[in-house]
Chains A and B, each alone.
Chain A
Amino acid sequence: MDLDANRSLIAAALGRIPAGDRTALQTVYRLTSAKLFGVCLRILGERGEAEDVLQEVYVTVWRKAADFDASRASPMTWLIAIARNRSIDRLRASRQSRNMAPIEQASEIADIAATADHALEGLQEHARLHGCLGSLATHERAALRGAFFDGNTYEELAARMAVPLGTMKSWIRRAMIKLKACLEQ
């Protein structure tokens, strides 16, 4: 589907939700639920929990659609943030993240996005982010990946990468500073 057309369809449907338009929410769901379910499933690692959280995500969208400002944010960005945050909330409520396997730093270089879903995210934005992530040190990129895709906390990342907590905080913060500088170039 054409990216701009899709984006404006989602944004327009979000705009109708505050008036109580259930078919508008259904439109948003139809266009975005596969992506958001993928996000929930990736972070939570279990279908039943991902389904529960996906339900929470769309009920949140229903309640908070008035907060979405199409002039300032992409609808997918807004929706993905809700899906990630609800999933992370669910993870935090349980004891720890599902994915706690040791992170092999050397293997992280290979995460070129052959499977990237550009229909929703935009080729350019993804390529740019990917380029900037590639400019980070391997351990920094690995730590960011663990946080973004597995929902790991600082403590969990430190455990997975076998470094002290302070070191992990430093890695992440330094990586975010570099990432912002790169994206703003």
Chain B
Amino acid sequence: MSDVLDHSGLPEEELLAAEYALGVLAGTERAAAEHRIARDPGFARQVAEWEQRLAPWAAEIPGVVPPPQVWDRIAGALPPPTPDRGLWQSLAFWRGLSLATGLLTAACVAALIYLGTLTQPQPLVATIEGDGHRHFVATIDAKRGMVAVVPAAFSADATRVPELWLIPADGKPRPVGLLRADRTVTLTLTAELAALAKGEAILAVSLEPPGGSTTGLPTGPVIATGKLTSL
């Protein structure tokens, strides 16, 4: 043969792309070409162009319907379906945000129903938050002297109990009563407290020994606060 290795006509790089696309390379040469495809867009484009040139030849290969179990195996090899994953994420989302959003609504509705204030003007609400979490939602009916407090994302403490405080404009906390992590608590406000429970007053929750603070002031950490606002 007169035509031994022929380096004329096309650059070496393009000949390599052609050889890869045709499939004649093996071993390290093939691995090196794949490595280059992944890192050299110009080379990858040349390979793609050669694939485009050769692909019409595949028209001569008759189609053969694969057995149905092949699709089942493909489906099984894929990551979990998107809708399921979306649902899971959604559940996690709701769990993560906890009861916060859902219970806020529930809190208002429950409190309004319980207090029978649907016909009463201007109940006050406070979302009592701390450390990025909404711990409780409180609804006050000052006229009837009642406050309903719904736990949201509050986690019970094994040794301490949550206590609610009203902090009016004078900045001095007044004890309102003990709260529960697991259910809504309805507390009665004294006439003095009811008079102080106006917009801009603060509700706060501290962690106290069982039975609550005996000093009349918070003794444990104040973990959450919220401003009373008109509904």
Which residues on A are within 8 Å of B, measured CB to CB? 19-22, 25-26, 29, 33-35, 37-39, 41-42, 50-51, 54-55, 58-59, 62, 72-74, 76-78, 80-81, 84-85, 88, 92, 111, 113, 115-118, 120-122, 125-126, 128-130, 133, 144, 147-149, 151-155, 157, 163, 166-167, 169-174, 176-177, 179-181, 183
Contacts and interface: CB of A to CB of B under 8 A. Distances in A.
B63 A34 contact: yes
Given A54-B66, A121-B56, A38 B1 contact: no
A183 B4 CA distance: 24
B26 interface: yes
Contacts of B8: 177
Interface of B: 1, 3-6, 8-10, 15, 18-19, 21-27, 30, 48, 50-67, 70-71, 73-75, 77-79, 81-82, 85
Nearest to B5: A170
Contact of A37 (B3, B48, B57, B66): B66
Given A116-B60, A151-B23, A173-B15, A54 B52 contact: no
B64 to A, nearest CB: 5
Nearest to A143: B24
Given A129-B54, A173-B19, 17 more contacts: A20-B82, A26-B75, A33-B65, A37-B64, A37-B70, A50-B66, A54-B66, A54-B70, A55-B70, A58-B74, A59-B74, A74-B52, A80-B58, A133-B57, A173-B5, A177-B8, A180-B18
Contacts of A125: 55-56
Contact of B63 (A35, A81, A113): A35
B24 A37 contact: no
Contacts of B62: 38, 115, 117
Contacts of B5: 166, 169-170, 173
A173 B59 CA distance: 23
Q: Which 10 A-B pairs have the closest CB atoms?
A: A34-B63, A121-B59, A20-B82, A177-B9, A125-B56, A77-B55, A116-B59, A37-B66, A81-B51, A153-B26
A145 B3 CA distance: 20
22 contacts: A20-B79, A22-B78, A22-B82, A26-B71, A34-B64, A35-B61, A38-B62, A38-B64, A55-B73, A55-B77, A80-B55, A81-B51, A85-B23, A115-B60, A117-B60, A121-B56, A148-B22, A149-B57, A149-B60, A152-B24, A155-B26, A177-B10
B70 A167 contact: no
Most buried by B among A80, A111, A133, A152: A80
Given A38-B61, A81-B51, A126 B56 contact: yes
Given A129-B57, A148-B57, A51 B70 contact: yes
A183 B75 CA distance: 39
Given A29-B74, A42-B61, A59-B77, A144 B22 contact: yes
Contacts of B73: 55
B4 A166 contact: yes
B48 to A, nearest CB: 6
A41 B64 contact: yes
A88 B23 contact: yes
B58 A39 contact: yes
A22 B24 contact: no
B78 A117 contact: no
